[in-house]
Structure 1
Amino acid sequence: MENTQNKAEGLKMLKEKIKDIKVAMLTSVNADGSLHTRPMQTQEMKDDRILWFFTGKNSEKIAEIKNDSHVSLGYADPGSNTYVAVCGRASLVTDQAKIDELWSEILKAWFPEGKTDPNIALLKVSIDSAEYWDSPSSNMVQLFGMAKAMVTGEPYKPGPGEHGKINA
């Protein structure tokens, strides 16, 4: 089933779907046009269409987004059969107040000098659009369906799920 939400409902749904998925795969564009993907831990998403991540000022992704700010974020929770793709534009933010607000001590693993580390920055992703896929079937039901398809030679047809687009 495909579903298209209005903006407020869609953003609320997006926030709900990714709230327990802490790591996203961020894809940015290299100067030569090739894609570069890496894991990033989401720090925050409020109702303002903004996702926040900590990053180093000297990281490759910063050079990439200065060249082309388009990014894609992939969130996956196979345990609940929830998958989300987010498209947006990224920018570098060095606002100390925002860094202080989002800071947690575990980040010292990447920024040893803490909140005032000279390399610390935030990656701000302004969401343009998002899509999600949900399957209410359990993994066992899906495995049974795949096994049945293999035995019968018929293509696997997943049970009813939900697919929707969120326009921000």
Structure 2
Amino acid sequence: MTEEKHLTGPEGLKKIGELIKHIKIAMMTTANPDGSFDSRPMATQTEKEFDGKIWFLTRNESGKVEELKQDSHVSLLYADQGDAKYISIKGRANLSRDRSAIHDLWNPMYKAWFPQGEEDPAIAVLWVEVEEAEYWEASSSRLVRGVRYLAAAATGGRVNLGETGKITVNA
């Protein structure tokens, strides 16, 4: 059994920010013109306080950028198996070549993808404006969760295993 919540506005934004803060990689899914989907790992920029936008650096000429030109809808999937936190985010992607935004997001680790550093002409900023999210979150440590799972199995699911919810950003 899980507690189900529906969050909106600032409370919803705060919850999303808390859930993704320590999860560095999201699987970003975009739509192909033929109706199929592509997913790829993207490094989330979580240095700023979450304000409804999730930031990434990307190559300005890539399959995902071409797909986003056709359809800006994206899905971001985050998973933290150790803490049993999972979040699925829907939103719209935007692209920019704004050098000040690139500078703000730059980290030396990105030289592996952009050998010329933050001045590399291949860099673009991609941000997703979050529209809604769903999450699943365990309410306790791994050991306690294991005991609760056993208790839930023994009691027919009458033990609280955590929280699930839907977040609507612009309600």
TM-score (norm 2): 0.86
SS state at 1:131 partner: strand
Q: What is the alpha-carbon distance in structure 2 between the residues aligned to residue 164 and residue 25 of structure 1?
A: 20
Which shows bigger deviation, 131-140 or 155-164?
A: 155-164
TM-score (norm 1): 0.88
Matches within 5 A, 1:2-151: 2-44=4-46, 46-140=49-143, 142=145, 145=149
Q: Is the 8 A contact 1:142 1:158 kept in 2?
A: no
Identity across the alignment (%): 45
What is the letter of the counterpart of residue 70 of structure 2?
A: N
CA shift, 1:159, in A, is 4.3
Q: How many pairs were matched up? A: 165
RMSD over equivalenced CA pairs, Å: 2.3
Q: What is the alpha-carbon distance in structure 2 between the residues aligned to residue 35 and residue 87 of structure 1?
A: 14
Task: Give the 3 Å change call, closer, same or farther, for CA 58–156 of structure 1 in structure 2.
Answer: farther
Q: What is the alpha-carbon distance in structure 1 between the residues aligned to residue 34 and residue 59 of structure 2?
A: 22
Task: Map Cα deviations across residues 17-52 of structure 1 (whole Å, 9 max, x no partner).
Answer: 110000001000011110100100001354431110
Q: What is the alpha-carbon distance in structure 2 between the residues aligned to residue 103 and residue 42 of structure 1?
A: 12
Task: Give the 3 Å change call, closer, same or farther, for CA 47–22 of structure 1 in structure 2.
Answer: closer
SS state at 2:79 partner: strand
List structure 1 runs of 4+ shifted beyond 6 angstroms: 154-158
